[in-house]
Structure 1
Amino acid sequence: MPSFDEARLMVKIARLYYDQGLRQQEITERLGIHQSTISRLLKRARDTNVVRISIAPPTGVHADLEEAIEQKFGLQQAIIVDTPDDADADQIERELGTAAAFYLETTVRKDMVIGLSPWGQALITMVERMSPNQRGKGGTVVQILGGVGNVQSRQYDPHLIQQLSANIGATPVLLQVPAVVGSPEARRVLSSDPAVREAAAYFDRIDLAVVALGSLMSLRPVGPNVAATFSDEERAELSKLGAVGDVCLRFIDSEGKPIRSALINRVMGIDLPALRQVGRIVGIAGGVRKLPVVRASLKGKWIDVLITDQQTGEQLLADAPTPKKGRTRAKTPAAVG
């Protein structure tokens, strides 16, 4: 037990710190006490229950679920978005995009190289709802996947890359090619283009990548998605090989292992070995149809930060065994295709 004099000083310091909001340095200057003593007494105040800190999350904040997922899968961070039970896929994607916007706003730093796969409703919403700032000044936003959908579609053009760059004060680097080309030969020709090579040169320098996790089969009959880039027969082949979804159009099975298919020779964008080298990968996905690929990406350690909805998060805890901790980083040179 502390002496009476120490207890008195401990309470005084705790009141200045917690009730009046003074910083430790300010308390040092006010009381003439060394800062290490203040830190020690504040800790002792908590350890002896002189100070009791209670956190009461507001409705819709799922801190316990986030922490459980982080521990289960060894994630740097899980962000759980509160969505109505009857929310459709589009609504879920928009809510996830809003959460991703806040995450990026609070994460971006100067001179960062940010990779973005510029398609999907969540990523569109993320960019649209970001508040303009200069936190990424001196940095670069590089497109890591070609356009998906019709050439005339919003998701094919450089809109998202340019808007995100403008929002954070960074420089855009575009990959202005289709995400999926007609043949391996077409990919080889496009990969040799100077503009494509310039974008690919950034792939092994990316500090933060933001990617949408894709389901194998789209439930939407139209729109810029996987169904618009591969034929029914090709998707049937991927399914037969065990694919459950994709990360940047690189397909993985239920354990998160890459699917070896000739179709990868038609994809224009960052490959999985290069993605392994990224400093931090943020995966955005939610809803029933995305659950298999979310689970697989966690098992395969393809993401470091997960942004998903409450129902998906609860299901991940309910049915997933604990995977090995840590994300293995390959040293394969970055490449397009």
Structure 2
Amino acid sequence: MRRILDIQKRLLPDLTDVLKKRYTILHHIAATGVVGRRALATHLELTERVLRAEVDFLKEQGLLETESSGMKLSEAGRKLLEDIEPIVKELLGLTDLEETLRARFSLRQVVIVPGDCDQSELTKKELGRAGAAALRKYASKGDVVAVAGGSTLAEVAHHLTPSAQMKGSLFVPARGGLGESVELQANSIASTMAKKTGGEYRLLHVPDHLGEEAYVSLMQDPNILEIVEVIRSARIVVHGIGDAMVMARRRKVDQRTIAELTAEGALAEAFGYYFDRSGKVVHKMPTVGLRLEDIQATETVIAVAGGKSKGEAIAAVMKFGHEDVLVIDEAAAVELLHHL
């Protein structure tokens, strides 16, 4: 296939451009669900005249359907979108980039979606869809799946669907999370994933970051201990990656600790730990839930993150070296290359 695509790029570059444009239109409609033509033209930065011609063609091919509220993909459109995704990735050079990053960090799989989450909410939705697909791929019946909080993981949860291999799985929060927006807490995401897949869930009603005294006290509670043991037995962990300072402020970490993080060179945050540029853990706070040793012993660790602004932070966590699957967007992947 690669040789055919190379020939097409050289002899028929205009066809490659048409393919990319029509794929982008279908992809954005799929991510949105239902969308009006004017809104789609604005988002894709196309004139309404150009978009109208493309939409008419896609309708004639049976790939789009029209409702009173806008356009949506037909079943044939969804199937075609799945079939051409590998071809578009090859044309965009993402297949080679996936393999470069997979080999560099000794990962089981790298998945890259086109775009930049920093610039497009639809790219974030696509990242969520790809993260959900990765989770389905590696999950099996009866798994314990520990999930972190955050907006990216909320998108992963949104894109999960009933799945035979995930039926009966138990979803648990990777750690406490009171204090964040409710919909972005690990508890909420775990319950959504369970409901979407037909699984079950357990909740952990404790704050994310604790003082030493509060931590010791909570870990003596039999009910807390019981759910923590379940969390630490997880076969799969799904987490996001954040900028250290952004995450510290979001979790309302005090100024003294933020100063310590800065002095220690903290660059990235994931599953409650802070990493410097080399991937070394430089700071951790008492938190009820997964510990570093649990992550290291977990069979499958899936990281989902995107946006050019997170490229360096993703590189830091990858250098730590305990992920198995990385799902990112194109902008983050290109930036990640600069920090190998």
Normalising by structure 2, we get a TM-score of 0.68
Amino acid at match of 2:250: A
Distance apart, 1:228 and its partner CA: 2.8
Distance apart, 1:67 and its partner CA: 0.9
Distance apart, 1:158 and its partner CA: 2.9
Select which of 200, 203, 213 maps to 2:241. Answer: 213
Match of 1:14 in 2: none
Match of 1:75 in 2: 107
Match of 1:63 in 2: 95
Select which of 226, 248, 257 maps to 1:198. Answer: 226
Q: For residues 163 and 319 of structure 1, do their structure 2 counterparts lie closer, same or farther at Cα, with a shift above 3 Å needed? A: closer
Preserved CA contact (<8 Å) 1:287 1:312: yes
Preserved CA contact (<8 Å) 1:83 1:95: no
Aligned length: 253
Residues 1:153 and 2:182 aligned together: yes
* Distance in 1, Cα, partners of 2:199 & 2:305: 26
Q: For residues 56 and 122 of structure 1, do their structure 2 counterparts lie closer, same or farther at Cα, with a shift above 3 Å needed? A: closer
Match of 1:176 in 2: 205
Q: For residues 56 and 86 of structure 1, do their structure 2 counterparts lie closer, same or farther at Cα, with a shift above 3 Å needed? A: closer
* Distance in 1, Cα, partners of 2:289 & 2:320: 20
Residues 1:283 and 2:303 aligned together: yes
What is the correspondence of 1:14-33 to structure 2 with a 5 Å cutoff? none
* Distance in 2, Cα, partners of 1:63 & 1:160: 30
Preserved CA contact (<8 Å) 1:147 1:157: yes
What is the correspondence of 1:1-337 to structure 2 with a 5 Å cutoff? 57-60=86-89, 62-84=94-116, 87=119, 92-117=123-148, 119-150=149-180, 153-156=182-185, 158-181=187-210, 183-218=211-246, 225-229=247-251, 230-260=253-283, 264-265=285-286, 267-320=287-340
Unaligned segments of structure 1, at least 5 residues: 1-54, 219-224, 321-337
Structure label with greater radius of gyration: 1
Preserved CA contact (<8 Å) 1:70 1:77: yes
**Which whole-Å deviations, capped at 9, do the CAs of 1:248-290 have from their partners, x for residues lacking one?**
1111111111114xx613x232111111000010011122332
Preserved CA contact (<8 Å) 2:112 2:328: yes
Q: Which has the higher contact order (CA 8 A, sep 6+)?
A: 1
* Distance in 2, Cα, partners of 1:154 & 1:85: 19
Distance apart, 1:292 and its partner CA: 2.2
Preserved CA contact (<8 Å) 1:116 1:142: yes
* Distance in 2, Cα, partners of 1:194 & 1:64: 50
Q: For residues 56 and 139 of structure 1, do their structure 2 counterparts lie closer, same or farther at Cα, with a shift above 3 Å needed? A: closer
* Distance in 1, Cα, partners of 2:123 & 2:279: 23
Distance apart, 1:240 and its partner CA: 0.8
* Distance in 2, Cα, partners of 1:313 & 1:234: 30
Preserved CA contact (<8 Å) 1:157 1:176: no
Q: For residues 87 and 56 of structure 1, do their structure 2 counterparts lie closer, same or farther at Cα, with a shift above 3 Å needed? A: closer
Unaligned segments of structure 2, at least 5 residues: 1-83
Distance apart, 1:76 and its partner CA: 0.4
* Distance in 2, Cα, partners of 1:56 & 1:157: 31
Moved more, 99-108 or 250-259: 99-108
Distance apart, 1:122 and its partner CA: 0.9
SS in 1 for 2:135: helix
Distance apart, 1:69 and its partner CA: 0.8
* Distance in 2, Cα, partners of 1:306 & 1:126: 13
**Which whole-Å deviations, capped at 9, do the CAs of 1:226-263 have from their partners, x for residues lacking one?**
31321233222112111111121111111111114xx6
Distance apart, 1:298 and its partner CA: 1.1
Moved more, 306-315 or 120-129: 306-315
* Distance in 2, Cα, partners of 1:249 & 1:204: 14
Query: Percent of aligned positions with the same letter in both sequences?
Result: 26
Distance apart, 1:305 and its partner CA: 0.8
* Distance in 2, Cα, partners of 1:157 & 1:312: 24
* Distance in 2, Cα, partners of 1:307 & 1:180: 27
Preserved CA contact (<8 Å) 1:212 1:284: yes
SS in 2 for 1:259: strand
Preserved CA contact (<8 Å) 2:114 2:123: no
Amino acid at match of 2:184: Q
RMSD: 2.4
